[in-house]
Amino acid sequence: MAGRGDKGNKGSGDGKRLASKGKKHYNKPQDKFRKRKGDPLPSFSEDVRLNKFIANAGICSRREADVLIATGIVEVNGKIITEMGFKVKPGDEVKYDGSIIQSEKKQYVLLNKPRNFITTMSDPQGRKTAFQLVANACKERIYPVGRLDRNTTGILLFTNDGDLAKRLTHPRYEVAKLYHVEAERPIRQEHIEALMAGVQLDDGEYVKADKVEFIPDSKNREVGLEIHSGKNRVIRRMFEALGYEVVKLDRVKFAGLTKKDVPRGTWRHLSEKEVSFLKMV
């Protein structure tokens, strides 16, 4: 990514009208984006509710696990537990009907999602889903960390590590995402600046990009855009607010993870080093 784009179009009458029209979208008080000092970050413990622990082991659903707990046939560290909401700590020994329950192995799978795949478990319309692409990745049930819409490509992380998923999607942790964006026509320099200053979406909220740069040799139609927001379809909505249509959108980086060695439509397991890095985010 490089370059500042062609400023020569600024003098045109069309450009003035666009710039004037755009002001209502991105002229805003800067303190809308400031954090309040002293606001605590949410904490996510490694402790897990007993019913969830049982369900994750594949024994039954959480609701059915509550029944098992209530009947007194579940033990934690040799003690019968009937308390709803009891939490299991790492290293605790959990028994069901006298047998030790093995906790589910944590899995971390990185998919490079193609177009025309939706991010849902199943689809009543019979459309292709991203889950079908990772169905053979592991025996455990894994779920996406966030979503990519049907026509958006790029990296999508799947895991059964609920605490990590919460960390990576919680807005206060500001996990960075990098997108390759292609518009249907050249993007004006003042609109690049507007994306970084803040754009008003159709719901009235302002969202800004952390960094936007033109892709070399793209005739100013393509940019690399880094953002922390996890709002639904946020990139497309930001460009729509400025009068552009996004024709291609590819997520090339998420929380430090990239598409390297993951061809489109394929997946790989994360390394222990990568998982450790994510847990420090």
Cα-based distances in Å from 23 to 19, 184, 200, 217, 241:
6, 21, 10, 28, 11
145 by DSSP, 3-state: which? Answer: coil
Q: Left, alpha or beta for 261 (phi > 0: left; psi -120 to 50: alpha)?
A: left
> Strand locations in 114-245, DSSP E?
143-144, 152-159, 177-183, 199-200, 206-207, 211-214, 222-227
**Which member of 6, 92, 123, 149 is catalytic?**
149
Closest Cα partner for 179 from 217, 133, 216, 213?
213
Closest Cα partner for 279 from 45, 50, 54?
45
Alpha-carbon distance 222 to 183, whole Å?
6
250 tagged catalytic = no
As annotated, the active-site residues are 149
